[in-house]
Amino acid sequence: DKAPAPAVVDLPPDESAQLLERLLATLSPEDRVLLELFYVQQRSYDEIALLLGIPSNSIGTRKFRIMKRLEARPEYNRIQDLL
């Protein structure tokens, strides 16, 4: 009987994509790659560590710090459903 919660993002797809692109552009190329490997390609920490040449036990911490930086950006609140 409950109505679905309204979406946080009610933007046209092209505007959402532009906001996401601007947000990701604030990151270093290495940070963007880590997020892509984890969220888009759904790679494990071990796979990401191997591909990036960094210890697997640092992936979670790095991802957490990257996401904290993104959350501090004003665009984040408008597109958080996309992340």
Q: Tell me what pLDDT residue 53 has.
A: 95
Report, as ranges of residue numbers, the positions in the chain whose pLDDT lies below 50.
Answer: 1-11
Q: Tell me what pLDDT residue 73 has.
A: 85
Q: Tell me what pLDDT residue 52 has.
A: 94
Q: Tell me what pLDDT residue 51 has.
A: 95
Cβ density class 70-83: b for 16+ within 10 Å, e for less? beeeebbebbeeee
What's the CA gap between 71 and 80, in Å, rounded?
A: 9
Q: Tell me what pLDDT residue 2 has.
A: 46
